[in-house]
């Protein structure tokens, strides 16, 4: 039961090459998305953001003027004066926060928020003092304190609004990116290439097994294109088992996956495709590079309503040339870091600061090799699926 040579050539060479080329072209965009996704506040350097801030500033100025005078005594001159002060504060704050956005993204949300808030208040202090000096010729401390309190209140409200808006946008982007990256961060081109090769080689000798591999491959891709959301942990584990079955055909006895699961996982929900990328990394960066293969340990544990998922693989030590080592390190770090960053952002989008990811090197296996371990921590409140 052999396929035509032209079809085998297409499966083995042309199809993987075209898919790999298209996925590589999109990796540059993914890197920029990951950097932008770490920002604490929305991007304030665009024309639309500046226009929105100017509009908000003008509304604040109008509200301040109306608080000091009634509609019958409304003063356009006072509105112009207050608008000038508010707009200077708004525009200078936007300029400063725009330049500090990359630095703030490296800090925690609390520390970054404090620095952003303090920066805005310093700008407000400078502008208000300059306005009082230019308009009055002196600085009244009572007026200064009053205006600083007003500035502190409105600045806190506005920064909080921008922060919440950014978090909502990041959550939407994380859900979207989890679908877009399914074909190049979690289902990498090498996986598709190797799977198609395995199918092509199995068709003449074991068509039944080849059909099973195609079914597993189809199921993996079908789930990768579904709406990203929380799914039962049991379903995620079933997907991972299908993926392991596909890799088992290619690696044979070199690949051993040991599952350590709790007795009852009914009702536990996890983000889709949260475990499969870790297993793929363990196989691609660990087992595949070992001539004798090795064991991938997948450990799932429940403790005090916290779900812990750990994936561990032996670290390979191969003798390669400096050129090969440099090329391997560059590609491996990019692909590995892309998957880990994607998992981290999606955990934060679903659980906030209650979720975490831990990467460490632990004691090795029976052969004395050190192991690379990634552990996910996320809140869990098991419920009966039937009762949901």
SS3 content of the chain, % helix, strand, coil (to 5): 65, 10, 20
Tell me the C-alpha distance between 61 and 131, whole Å: 15
- Name residue, tokens 């989008």: 349
Q: What string of DSSP letters covers 179-223?
A: HHGGGTTTS-HHHHHHHHHHHHHHTTT-HHHHHHHHHHHHHHHHH
Percent of the chain with pLDDT over 90: 11
CA–CA distance, 124 with 152 (Å, rounded to integer): 9
d(CA 272, CA 138): 62
Cβ contacts of residue 66 below 8 Å, gap of 6+?
A: 74
Is residue 379 helix, strand or coil? Answer: strand
Angle at 289 between CA 284 and CA 293, to 5 degrees: 95
Half-sphere exposure (CA, 13 Å, Cβ side) for 232?
12
> How sure is the predictor about 1, in pLDDT bands with cuts at 50, 70 and 90?
very low
- Torsion sign (Cα): 60, 66, 68, 74: positive
Instruction: Label residue 147 exposed, middle or buried (CB < 10 Å: 0-12, 13-18, 19+).
Output: buried
Q: Which of 33-37, 48-52, 87-91, 122-126 has the lowest mean pLDDT?
A: 33-37
The residue behind tokens 């068509």 is 207
Write the Ramachandran bin of 380: left for phi over 0, alpha for psi from -120 to 50, otherwise beta: beta
Q: Which residues of 95-126 are buried (b: 16+ CB within 10 A; e: fewer)?
A: ebbbebbeebeeeeeeebbebbeebbbebbee
pTM of the model: 0.53
Poorest-pLDDT segment among 69-73, 118-122, 214-218, 365-369? 365-369
Task: Give the tens place of pLDDT for each residue, 339-380.
Answer: 777 788 778 777 878 888 999 888 766 666 788 899 999 888
> Tens digit of pLDDT for each residue in 86-113?
999 999 988 898 888 888 878 888 888 8
According to the model, what pLDDT value does residue 311 have?
93
**Tokens of residue 61, six digits:** 């100025």
Strands 269-271 and 230-232: antiparallel
For the residues 13-41, what does the mean pLDDT come to?
49
The answer for residues whose C-beta is within 8 angstroms of residue 387's C-beta and 6 or more apart is none
pLDDT score, position 204: 83
Window from 2-6, 39-43, 214-218 with minimum mean pLDDT = 2-6
What would the pLDDT profile of 209-249 be if each residue is shown by its tens digit? Answer: 888 888 888 877 777 666 557 788 898 898 889 888 888 88
What angle (nearest 5°) sits at the alpha carbon of residue 94, between those of residues 89 and 100?
125
Q: In this structure, are residues 181 and 276 in contact, taking their beta carbons and an 8 Å threshold?
A: no
d(CA 38, CA 106): 8
The DSSP secondary-structure symbol of 294 reads E
Q: What is the pLDDT of residue 330?
A: 47
Q: Specify burial of residue 363 (Cβ count, 10 A radius: 0-12, 13-18, 19+).
A: exposed
Question: Where do the domains of the chain lie, and which CATH numbers do they carry?
Answer: 47-178 (no CATH), 185-387 (3.30.565.10)
The most confident of the ranges 16-20, 153-157, 317-321, 326-330 is: 153-157
């Amino acid at each position: 039961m052999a396929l035509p040579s032209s079809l085998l050539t297409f499966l083995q060479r042309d199809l993987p090459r075209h898919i790999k080329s298209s996925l590589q072209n999109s990796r540059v965009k993914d890197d920029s998305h990951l950097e932008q996704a770490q920002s604490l506040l929305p991007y304030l350097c665009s024309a639309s953001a500046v226009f929105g801030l100017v509009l908000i500033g003008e509304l604040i100025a109008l509200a301040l003027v109306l608080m000091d005078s009634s509609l019958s005594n409304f003063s356009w001159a006072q509105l112009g004066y207050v608008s000038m002060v508010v707009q200077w504060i708004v525009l200078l704050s936007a300029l400063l926060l725009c330049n500090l956005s990359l630095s703030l993204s490296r800090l925690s949300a609390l520390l970054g928020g404090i620095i952003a808030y303090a920066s805005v208040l310093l700008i407000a202090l400078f502008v208000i003092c300059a306005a009082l000096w230019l308009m009055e010729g002196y600085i009244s401390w009572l007026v200064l304190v009053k205006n600083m309190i007003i500035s502190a209140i409105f600045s806190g409200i506005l920064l909080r609004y921008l922060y919440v808006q950014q978090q909502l946008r990041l959550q939407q982007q994380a859900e979207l990116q989890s679908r877009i990256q399914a074909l190049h961060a979690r289902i990498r081109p090498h996986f598709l290439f190797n799977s198609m090769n395995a199918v092509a080689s199995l068709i003449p000798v074991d068509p039944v097994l080849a059909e099973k591999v195609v079914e597993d491959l189809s199921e993996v891709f079908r789930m990768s294109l579904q709406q990203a959301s929380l799914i039962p942990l049991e379903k995620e584990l079933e997907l991972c088992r299908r993926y392991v079955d596909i890799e088992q055909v290619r690696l044979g006895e070199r690949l051993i996956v040991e599952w350590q699961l709790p007795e009852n996982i009914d009702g536990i929900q996890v983000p889709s495709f949260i475990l499969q990328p870790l297993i793929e990394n363990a196989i691609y960066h660990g087992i595949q590079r070992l001539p004798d293969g090795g064991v991938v340990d997948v450990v799932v544990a429940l403790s005090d309503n916290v779900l812990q998922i750990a994936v561990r693989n032996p670290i390979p030590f191969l003798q390669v040339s400096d050129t090969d080592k440099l090329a391997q390190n560059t590609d491996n770090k990019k692909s590995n870091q892309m998957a880990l960053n994607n998992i981290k952002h999606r955990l934060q989008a679903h659980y906030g600061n209650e979720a975490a990811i831990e990467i460490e090197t632990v004691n090795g296996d029976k052969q004395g090799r050190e192991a690379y371990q990634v552990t996910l921590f996320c809140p869990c409140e098991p419920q009966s699926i039937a009762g949901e």
